Structure 1
Amino acid sequence: MSNVTITNHPLIEHKLSILRDVNTNPTIFRQLVSELGALLCYEATRDLPIKPVEVQTPLTTMTAYEMQESIALIPILRAGLGMVEGIWALIPNAHVFHIGFYRNEQTLEPVEYYNKLPKNHPFNTCLILDPMLATGGSAIATTDIIKRWGAKKIKFVGLIGAPEGIRALQEVHPDVDIHLAAIDDHLNEKGYIVPGLGDAGDRQFGTVF
């Protein structure tokens, strides 16, 4: 798993524990997903290229640095939406484009239903956002789309991954770096990560009944 980075900072471990708790309400759950997205983004963007710029401080001029690449955030609907705000707070000039999939509950395969990538405007770096890397189907399909779009560098940023999903994404797209807060034990027969945290979309949007 050479292209997998697990960021196990104490703040991440603490927030992830609350996120997993079945008694955590949707309001707190959404807040934690946003905060964890920001913390993981910090590590995922560590290798972004920067360029020198001259800055006038109150005392003198100096050489400082700014990012030189355009960045696209691509949340996989619907669960990936919760990660956008936290990352956007760190990279306010990033562009956000949405791709939507739902899971066929019989085959566990992703079915595309929404795609808002503009034509002929590929960005240098694309961050695919999805809290859970379970079977890997949606991540693979999204990466397929983004590569056809012409993106130069693609990274997957999620909260929890299953070994099965990580392997699947690596086999099809070995050039995509994977950033997670944790790798859990396995997938169950319904394709959910165990121990996991349940359905990240349902828990964010309060649709668990």
Structure 2
Amino acid sequence: MDGVIIIDHPLVQHKLTIMRKKETSTAGFRRLLREISTLLCYEVTRNLEMTSERIETPLTTMDAPVLEGKKLVFASILRAGNGLLEGMLDLVPAARVAHVGLYRDETTLEPVEYYFKAPEQLGNRLVIVVDPMLATANSAILAVERLKQQGASNIRFLCLLAAPEGVQNFRSAHPDVPVYTAAIDSHLNDLGYIVPGLGDAGDRMYGTK
């Protein structure tokens, strides 16, 4: 699919398979999500802009590569997005964090916003929006819209699993935002869940069902 990057690293795929298993415990699911998010973060940040600075090693002086520009922003779609966020902050601890609080109305499947807080100067930063599941994409579309309203213009969306319907909806709404995912599954069921999927990521992560 145009604008979609599938992260098919063997470690990512292996951990994802374990997460899909219904017998995987809450603790195991949470640990695996944190581990896999670090690997996904590695891929979504692969082509960051670089510059150099003069440093001194114990032996000599050299021009060494460093990241260029303002610090990254990780935008977590609450609540499940925090499962990806934690592992990503392990890898990039200096990143700024935005929170977009949305819940899905189980009747209409439409997102309802209840919280939004983001760093300033989003227009000068790369913003990586994170949510484990891109199902209908309604929440992701709204989250990106809100970030754009705050000035964000360089945005990437990172998820663990996506449905073809969600990818199509998201790319139609935001063709300028690439999607990074570990897998695109078969379809959505009548309740808007990804099949075969892994269930509700938030419930499995926090043990709420």
Same fold (TM over 0.5): yes
Contact 2:97–2:118 under 8 Å retained in 1: no
Partner of 2:103: 102
2:39 match: secondary structure: helix
Partner of 1:197: 198
Deviates more, 1:87-96 or 1:183-192: 87-96
Deviation at 1:65, TM superposition (A): 1.0
Deviation at 1:121, TM superposition (A): 2.9
Partner of 1:28: 28
1:35 match: secondary structure: helix
What do residues 76-110 of structure 1 show as CA deviations (whole Å, max 9, x unaligned)? 00000011121111111101121111111111011
2:155 matched to 1:154?
yes
Partner of 1:38: 38
Distance in structure 2 (CA, Å) of the matches to 1:40 and 1:175: 20
Distance in structure 2 (CA, Å) of the matches to 1:126 and 1:132: 18
Distance in structure 2 (CA, Å) of the matches to 1:97 and 1:30: 21
Distance in structure 2 (CA, Å) of the matches to 1:184 and 1:148: 31
Matches within 5 A, 1:169-180: 169-180=170-181
Distance in structure 2 (CA, Å) of the matches to 1:177 and 1:34: 22
2:76 match: secondary structure: strand
Partner of 2:52: 52
Structure 2, gaps ≥5 residues long: none
Q: Which amino acid aligns with 2:150?
A: W
2:121 matched to 1:121?
yes
Structure 1, gaps ≥5 residues long: none
Distance in structure 2 (CA, Å) of the matches to 1:199 and 1:177: 24
Moved beyond 4 Å, runs of 4+: none
Q: Which amino acid aligns with 1:49?
A: E
Percent identity reads: 50
Distance in structure 2 (CA, Å) of the matches to 1:31 and 1:84: 13
What do residues 23-59 of structure 1 show as CA deviations (whole Å, max 9, x unaligned)? 1111111111111111111111111101111111111
- Count, aligned residues: 207
Q: Which amino acid aligns with 1:9?
A: H
Q: Which amino acid aligns with 1:81?
A: N
Distance in structure 2 (CA, Å) of the matches to 1:3 and 1:148: 22
2:179 match: secondary structure: strand
1:98 match: secondary structure: strand
Deviation at 1:152, TM superposition (A): 2.6
